[in-house]
Each structure stands twice: as C-alpha cells, then as structure tokens.
Amino acid sequence: MVWGHWNVWGSLVWFGFMFPPADLLSEKDMEVLLQATGCSSELLRPLCRTDCLSERYRSFTGECNNRQHPKWGAANTAYSRWLHPEYEDFRGAPRGWDPEHTYNNFTLPPVRLVSQEVLLTQNDDISLDTSLSHLLVEWGQWIDHDLALTPQSPSTAKLTSLSCRVSPSRPVPQIPLSDPRTGIQSCMPFFRSAPSCVGGALAGTPPHHHREQLNAITSFVDASMVYGSSSSLAAALRDSSSRLGRLALNDQASDQGLAYMPYLPRLCPLSVAYIMCCLGDSRANEHLGMIALHTLFLREHNRLVEQLHLLNPHWGPDTLYQEARKIIGAIHQILTWEHYLPRVLGETATSQLMPTFRGYDPETDPSISNVFSAAAFRFAHVTVQPVVARLGSGYSLSPEHPSLPLHHSLFASWRVVQEGGIDPILRGLLLSPAKLQLPGQMMVEELTERLFQAQGGLPLDLAALNLQRGRDHGLPGYSSWRALCGLSVPNTTSDLADILGSPGLAEKFRSLYGTPQNIDVWVGAISEPPLAGGRVGPLLACLLARQFRALRDGDRFWWEREGVFTGAQRAALHAVSLSRIICDNTRIAHVPSDPFRHTVSPDDMLACNHALIPHLNLSAWKEPDTDPKCGLVPRLESGFSMLCDSTIYYQCAPGYQLIGPSLVTCDPNSQLWNAAPPTCHDVDECADQPTLCPENKDCLNTPGSYMCKGKVL
C-alpha cells in the first residue's frame, strides 16, 4: 500500500483528497490510521526514564536526549526549518513543478540544464587539492550518514523515464533539447521525499501546516550508521551469542581472518541487477569507501569490547557493548569537530563561527535542518575524484587491485571480498588528494553522466538530483539564505560577480535564472570562493557552522559535557586518531600522522608504532572495586555487575537465573548497601524442557548449559 501526504490537524489530507474532520472518526479509526501511516511514532510523546543508565547511555532513537523536548533530534521526526519553505502551491508542489510558474518574473531553469551549463566537468579537466586527502571527502559523507536519512515516497510523484508526466497538468523535470541524452530519455527518474505527518514551524512561531520531510535517523553525532537508530536494527547488528557485546560478523567470508560486515539474508535489487549487500545502514553499500569505513568501525567496536572486558571482567555483554558504543560516538565527535571542520571552514571561520563549548544548552534544538540536509552538506560532491585509487602494500600500484572509474565502485560490495579487502581502498584514500572546486571545475562527469551506470539502466545525474531535491523540499533561493546569514544579498549580475569572483559564472547564472534571487541554494553556495584556509565560501560556512554548533550544544551526551566521561577518560579520548584506528584494524603498517592532510609520498608515512600515532589508553575505563561511601562492591559468581553512581546493576550469565534484586543502592546515611546482592542459580534446562535432546539421547544438565549424551543400554 502506498500512502501519500498526511497532515494531522483538523483533517487528514491524502493525495489532495480530504478525510472527514477528526471528530467524525472514532478513536479506534484514528488509531488505525495513525498506525497504518507510521504517524503514531511521530506524534506520541515518549516517556523518558531518569535512572542512572538513561543518564549514562543514549537511546538508539535519540528520544529523550532533551528531557523537555524529547523528540528533538530523534529519528523519524521532521527536519527543522530556518526559513519558511517556498512551495509552488498549498499542497507543497516543488519549486519549478509548473514550467510556466514565475519567481521574481522569471521561470526556473530545468535542473538538468543547470547541471550541464554550470556543473559538468570532464574527468580529465580537474585540479587536485594539494592540501587535503580524499579521506577527508569520504569522512564528510560518512558523517552525513550519521546525521540524516531522508526516506523517499514511492507515490505518484515518482518521475520515471517511461512516464514523464504525473498528470497532463503536472509536467516533471524534462531533459532539455540541447542535452546529449535527448532521444535516450525524456526526463530524470526522481522520487519525492516522504512527508512528515505533522506540519512544520520555525522555532518560536505558531505551527504551520506546510509539507515537511522526515529524518529517519537520529540527528546527533552518535555513530548511528554503525549501530542503527532503532532498537530493532541495533539488535540485528549485534552478535546475540557473544558474551562480550560484539557486533555481528560475516560468517561467509573474511579478510584473511579480519572481519567483514555481515550480508543481508537476501540479494538486493538494484536497477536490472541483484547484488550481495551488507547489513546495516541502508547506504553502506553505496560505494567502496563507505564499505571500508563501515568495516573499519565494526572491527574497532569489537576490538574495544575485548579490551574493556580485560579491564572489567565483571561487565556483562550489554555493558561492554554500550561502553564501546559510547567511546565510538565520542571518537566521531572529536574527529569531526577538531579534525574535519577546521579544514572545511578554515581556522579563522572556525574560531569565529564555532566558539568554545560552554556546556549543554537544553534550549538548543539539535535537529538537522532541511537546508543542511538537502543542500549545504552536499557541498563535498564537487570535491570527489573521478577515480577510486586502490593501492597495494607500500602504497604501490598493483595489478591485483587496479584503480577504478568511480562509477565502477558504486554498489560493488563484491569487490571488497573478491579484490583484496578494505586495505587497498583505505591506502588509496590516504594517499590520493581531494579534487579542488573551482568555478569551471565543479562536478566530474562520473557523477553527472555515469552515476550508477555500471549497475544497468539509465545513468543518473547527481547534480540534477541535488537541485531537484532542494526544490522538492521547498528551499528558498540563494539570496534568502545570504540574508539569513547576514551576508550581502546580490540583486544584479554585477553584485553576483563580485561575490563569486567570476563574471563568467555570474553571467551563466543570469542567463539560466534571470535574477540572483532565483538561484538554487545548493549551486549558489558551492559557487562561492572558499574562505582563507577552508574549502567553503561564506554562505556554506555560516550554514554548516550553525548546524554543527547546534549538534554540539544541544546534545546532552556531548563528549566534553561534565559527567558524560570522567576527566581521565576525556584526556584519553582527546588523543584519538583515525590513523590509529586504521592501524589497529587493518594490515596497513604505515599511515600519515594526519590522515585528512594530503600526504605527497609513501615515504612520508609513519610506522604504526610511531609516537605520533598514539594508542587510546583505556585504563581510565577500569571500574573501581569500591564505592566512595559503601565500600567494596559485591560481585556475582556466574554473573555480571556494573557500578553506576552508587547503584550496582546485576545480571546473570546465560543459563543462570537471578535470585534476588537486580540492583542495589548505596544508602548515604547508613553507608551500607540497601540489600544483599543477588545470586545466580543454574537453570536445569533438562528439567524445564524435556524435549531438548532427541529420543535416543539423555539430557545432562551442566553449569550454565546442558549436553545430550547417548543413552546407556
């Protein structure tokens, strides 16, 4: 069943038809409707726990991070708005939906025409970034997959090459007559983003019932692409049999003993082909770089739980899992804010736009903004190289895993297993430079002309899709966002030429859009020359910094917040290094001290045992054996325990039953534990389940388990 756009207010709108007002529907009818559309999870206010564990660990969904606003930053909620959307009608038709509709007395150009005229760059006509590695580009997409996932709506708004009209009066983006694809396809395939069930509003203003889009994952930098944004996915990604809290591994293939991500139980349909896909974030299989990073952090999680188990053998699998998850989340925050963003924004802009952390602010909404997801954080698409470098041992070229045209690396997870694992891919990312974005060198043809071509079907155009996505989301034009950021607003072509530093590019925009006010925000923002030391211009610096500031200040579990980690743990975390993580989880023996900086020669790499590639010292995670007031912490035989703010949580190992309280608390007055610790009693599986063993064998109970033995005749 395909459901359309629901607005839950006085009545429900479904593909433009009106349901009866809510008071004509019974309570049961409303409940059925809300469940069927998935709106119930969006509308219900979650109940937030206040126990010690809820203070120590995030929820998977992001709910209750903010106790006053428990849905802020949570999965399956609407993107926030910094400006009111500009749709073509009250139902939320995308900008440019009607080719005769004018904005500021001009019609909007077809997105494919903008791609061809402004963005298309031949693969061999690019300049390389002598300062930054391609791993920085990859990290941007990796973090994007931690922040936002916009589900698409398989509704009548699908734009296909077979039917390029939703209805006779609703044409969709066409392929211009001047386009090389004319005669092959008449329009670009496109799905509209699924709408939220609730209308959107700017902070501090009354609710508006315009169309809003959903973020299906948590907004927070919490490594949700590794662990999932729901309890069910998190459970599916775990090794349920592990007593160490490990993530699940591939049981069909390994990288010479090192783990791969587990496969999905069935092949994934992709255009005209079916491929083997990896379980996890739905975008993990997009290209080789993503698979490499997913694999890297799966291995790092499992390495951490083993190390934490050695420090705290009394911790159970859930504690080990959550502590490793918490560390991985902090690592992502540190690498992004301290290593990635200063290179994107530039040191000066970072210091001006990203002031020092002053503490958690419960009045800051950390939700991802629509403009950030649909436009601003797509800036790095113009820094992608057309070739995926794969390098052998010693960072040498190798015939076993040659470099690939970019489109041959997309949805090609099989190449990881069959062509050398993740090491060649990571070596290529470490040694290859990023592409420079220049006015005449925007997006390589691998992305505008060959996107997903290797998987069969018609190739897509990433630039056109980005532009259409912004229009689909009703993002106002370029000038409106300049005004929001307090920047000068171009009114003439001359004004625009001054801002862009390129009269030729400004003239292209004039011929396409008629006025600077109509320029799509994504293409306008990426066209600005970068700030000193950075890779983005003033508008992108403003939008990116505003979002990342909110993600930091509005996160109750931000790694620097007092009480999230101890002082000793924060000091240890501050030394984290992506190069160290690569050393610890691959067979790569030499790495750069700074993996985001372009390393000119393999000779400049450092051995993994070099002092500049420090290990993460986990000694600060050793749990004390005593409580400050109640003294010795009672442990369990055949069970697990964890001390959390003078409360001990108990759990028995599998095959044992907990007898007694699952937690005891230190009484500060008596300075005694408020109850005796529980005990773990062996479960007699043979008595409880007489049919465990086949008829020709006897069931023999063993401590924590059982065994089936042949009957004595």
pLDDT digits (tens, 9 = 90+) for 469-528: 999 999 999 999 999 999 999 999 999 999 999 999 999 999 999 999 999 999 999 999
**Amino acid in the structure at residue 213:** Q
Return the closest-CA partner of residue 347 out of 542, 139, 534: 534
3-state secondary structure of 221: coil
Which residues does residue 708 pair with via DSSP β-bridges, in sequence order? 699
Rounded to whole angstroms, how far apart are CA atoms 148 and 671? 47
Rounded to whole angstroms, how far apart are CA atoms 534 and 343? 5
649 domain residue, yes or no: yes
Residue for token digits 């430079």? 433
| Residues labelled as active-site residues | 145
Q: Are 118 and 512 in contact (CB under 8 A)?
A: yes
Which pLDDT does position 189 carry in this prediction?
Answer: 75
**Amino acid in the structure at residue 643:** L
3-state secondary structure of 680: strand
Return the closest-CA partner of residue 428 out of 389, 392, 386: 389
Structural domain span for residue 647: 624-682
First to last CA, the chain: 61
What is the per-residue pLDDT across 11-21, written as a single tens digit (0 to 9) for each? 222 222 223 33
596 domain residue, yes or no: no
For 372, the token pair is 């950030």
pLDDT band for position 231 (cuts 50, 70, 90): very high
678 domain residue, yes or no: yes
Rounded to whole angstroms, how far apart are CA atoms 422 and 388? 13
For 572, the token pair is 């240890």
Which pLDDT does position 29 carry in this prediction?
Answer: 53
What is the per-residue pLDDT across 69-124, written as a single tens digit (0 to 9) for each? 999 999 999 999 999 999 998 888 899 888 889 999 999 999 999 999 999 999 99
648 domain residue, yes or no: yes
SS (H, E, C) 359-375: CCCCCCCCCCEHHHHHC
Which pLDDT does position 43 carry in this prediction?
Answer: 65
pLDDT band for position 32 (cuts 50, 70, 90): low
637 domain residue, yes or no: yes
213 domain residue, yes or no: no
660 domain residue, yes or no: yes
Rounded to whole angstroms, how far apart are CA atoms 353 and 333? 17
CATH code of 660's domain: 2.10.70.10
For 90, the token pair is 């009250």
Number of structural domains (the chain) is 1
639 domain residue, yes or no: yes
The enclosing H or E element of 39 equals helix 39-43
pTM (2 decimals)? 0.90
- Per cent of the chain over pLDDT 90 is 72
Rounded to whole angstroms, how far apart are CA atoms 299 and 308? 14
What is the per-residue pLDDT across 568-593, written as a single tens digit (0 to 9) for each? 999 999 999 999 999 999 999 999 99
Q: Are 346 and 531 in contact (CB under 8 A)?
A: yes
CB atoms within 10 A of CB 229: 25
Rounded to whole angstroms, how far apart are CA atoms 131 and 532? 13
SS (H, E, C) 128-156: EEEEEEHHHHHHHHHHHHHHCCCCECCCC
Q: Is 381 annotated as a binding residue?
A: yes
